[in-house]
Amino acid sequence: MIFRHTDALWSAHPRLTAGALYATGVGAPLGPGPDTTGYTARALARLAQATESEFPEVLAWRRAFSGMGLKPTRYRCAAESLLRRLRKEGTLPRIHPVVDLCNAVSAAYAVPVAALDADRVTGPVLEVRPARGDEHYTAFGGGTEHPAPGEITFADCAGRAHARRWTHRQSGHSAVGPHTGRVLVVAEALHEGGAAVMPELLRTLAGELAAHWGAGTRTAVLTAAAAEFVFGER
């Protein structure tokens, strides 16, 4: 299967850097699962100096959302939402060990990180692109929505939208759960310096997945010049 962003998206967002990670064997973790306290502590230390809305990583996404006609304080990128919750409550939600790890790393780097159940994505291509308007998005509450035409989404070959408003909200259809065995993790940065931190973020995730699940992983940093990540089976 191929994961990619469209050429038009790279052109519209020249500072975009994406990281992709494919992992197999992420069933029940060995032991209690990864200790994420170090990542949340790193995020809390930054939040003690400034609110998340002042982080350059978040500001870059706010500018992008504004450019797409979205009110940034209503539709926040996933990293900003996590940091906001962490600042207010002091903890992050506990959902699934893989998701919890990705959320903690997302908060630590202030970069949106999505984890998708790879077996719930219909290939051969998963593409980040403007929606046509006929895609089906499954909300976590179980209802079906249709992204507005032009809205950025993760769209597969079955017409499923695996995200709303790009990095704002993932789909319940491909959410990682108890029966997940293979995951595709995507991190996306728009700020200056995103290309420098993305390899480190991917190494961090790959190391944790290997240490606690014995997972086999493959990673790639995606740019306009190297825009495709091949994972699983074509």
> Each residue of 105-151: pLDDT tens digit?
999 999 999 999 999 999 999 999 999 999 999 998 889 999 999 99
How much of the chain exceeds pLDDT 70, in percent? Answer: 97
What pLDDT, on a 0 to 100 scale, did the predictor assign at position 135?
98
Check: CB of residue 215 under 8 Å from CB of residue 33: no
pLDDT at 29 exceeding the cut of 70: no
pLDDT tens for residues 166-220?
A: 999 999 999 999 999 999 999 999 999 999 999 999 999 999 999 999 999 999 9
pLDDT at 233 exceeding the cut of 70: no
The CA-atom distances, in angstroms, between 231 and each of 31, 72, 79, 139, 223 are 28, 33, 25, 26, 17
What pLDDT, on a 0 to 100 scale, did the predictor assign at position 31?
63
Average pLDDT over residues 56-70: 97
Please report, for the domain that includes residue 22, its CATH number: 3.50.40.10
pLDDT at 234 exceeding the cut of 50: no
Rounded CA separation 114/132 (Å): 22
Domain residues for 55?
2-230
Which residue, 112, 60, 39, 109, is CA-closest to 81? 112
* Total number of domains in the chain: 1
How much of the chain exceeds pLDDT 90, in percent? Answer: 94
Rounded CA separation 199/90 (Å): 28
Average pLDDT over residues 144-169: 97
